[in-house]
Structure 1
Amino acid sequence: MAVSGAGTCKLETMEAEVEIKANADKLYKFISNQHYDFPKAASDKIHDVAVHEGDWETSGSVKLWKYTIDGNVETYKEKVEIDEANKRVSLTGLEGSHVLDNYKSYKIIFQVTPNSEGGSVKITLEYKKLNENDPPPQKYLSFLVNVIKDVDAHLIKE
């Protein structure tokens, strides 16, 4: 029996921009291939990042993240795509507790843009809700904004 309306949720996006004071190239390198340093930079949020397939630096590698959001420990298994030319890193969700409970697809995109004072990081979430009534992933976007702020502060101290 077919369910009417199944799979009709459309691809949606949410965006935020974070101004950074650290060197933009250094921050891009951190985001693109130093995932193992995220627990050092944002220890209250991100607890562990482990390579599941591939390595730390190659597009197509798969990593498993463990983090706390709103007091809950969650996991996110993602496949990374690195676009060096555009300083863009995409993390496509494969599995995960909580975040993929409400979203059929979920992708995090970081775009780093340098300027004379550091730069900015544009964070885009692309997602498809499982159900039209599910909330947009605002708490995850806020979480990512705060993680980037932590990374920026960490890199300034180095």
Structure 2
Amino acid sequence: MAGLKRKLEGEIEIRVAGGDAFHELFQEKPHDIANIHPEFVQGCDLHHGSFGKPGSKICWNYTLDGKVQKGKQVLDVVDEKNKIIKFRMLEGDLMEDYNTFVITYQVIPKGEELSLVTWTFEYEKKHPGVPEPSSLMDELLKLAKEIDDHHHRQDK
């Protein structure tokens, strides 16, 4: 039986003009995210390649809905100009419920002082009883806010 394909999108405004610091963090220093929001992300290890380079494989340790989880993903797309990064999940807790799971984020500058961070999930559920990944979306939106607050505090 074919899975159920879905798409979920979320967005949040951040005060980091141009979003460069946000994009740089995910592209080149994702291991620093655990220092910014340790309640969600406990670790990030490079398993293959180089941070920020397509084809790189990264393993995340995180807590979602009170459960410690792991996920291994490959970095499929890095678009410097448009500040887009696309990760495809390879294995881990998420893959117990989904045949495929792709996470894309984009930072869109909005004037001189604001940017918009958009998260998009494209996924295929293994069966109709699988819940929507809304708690993961909520955590990533909260993470974007935590990163924004972190950078805003450092700028002062």
- Give TM-score, length-normalised by structure 1: 0.91
**Does the Cα contact within 8 Å between 1:45 and 1:69 map onto a contact in 2?**
yes
Corresponding position: 1:60 with 2:55: yes
1:50 aligns with 2:45: yes
Contact 1:20/1:121 (CA < 8 Å) preserved in 2? Answer: yes
Distance 1:95 1:82 in 2: 21
Q: Any gaps of 5 or more consecutive residues in structure 1?
A: 1-5
Q: Which residue of structure 2 lines up, in the alignment, with residue 3 of structure 1?
A: none
Deviation at 1:27, TM superposition (A): 1.1
Count residues in correspondence: 151
Alignment-derived partner of residue 150 in structure 1? 146
Aligned to 2:101: 106
Q: Are 1:18 and 2:12 matched, yes or no?
A: yes
Instruction: Report the 3-state secondary structure (helix = DSSP H, G, I; strand = E; otherwise coil) of the residue aligned with 1:85.
Output: coil
Q: Name the aligned partner's letter for residue 107 of structure 2.
A: V
Conservation of the 8 A alpha-carbon contact between 2:4 and 2:127: no
Identity %: 27
Question: Following the alignment from structure 2 to structure 1, what is the Cα–Cα distance between the partners of residues 6 and 147?
Answer: 27
Shift of 1:85: 2.2
**Could you say what secondary structure the match of 1:58 adopts?**
coil
Report the residue type matching 1:101 in the other structure: E
Q: Secondary structure at the match of 1:113?
A: strand
Alignment of 1:87-102 (within 5 A): 87-97=83-93, 99-102=94-97
Structure 1 runs of 4+ with >4 Å offset: none
Report the equivalent of 1:118: 114
In structure 2, give the amino acid aligned to 1:56: F
Between the aligned partners of 1:43 and 1:65, the Cα distance in structure 2 is 12
Aligned-partner residue type, residue 125 of structure 2? K
Task: Tell me which residue corresponds to 1:86.
Answer: 82
Instruction: Indicate if the aligned counterparts of 1:25 and 1:114 stay in contact, CA closer than 8 A.
Output: no
Which amino acid in 2 is paired with 1:12? R
| Structure 1 contact 22–153 (Cα < 8 Å) conserved | no
Aligned amino acid, residue 123 of structure 2: Y
TM-score w.r.t. the length of structure 2 is: 0.92
- RMSD over aligned CA atoms reads 1.1
Would the aligned equivalents of 2:4 and 2:126 in 1 still touch at CA under 8 Å? no
C-alpha distance in 1 between matches for 2:151 and 2:49: 26
Q: Is the 8 A contact 1:110 1:121 kept in 2?
A: yes
- For the residue of structure 1 that corresponds to 2:81, the secondary structure is helix
Letter in 2 for 1:57: G
CA distance in 2, matches of 1:15, 1:86: 18
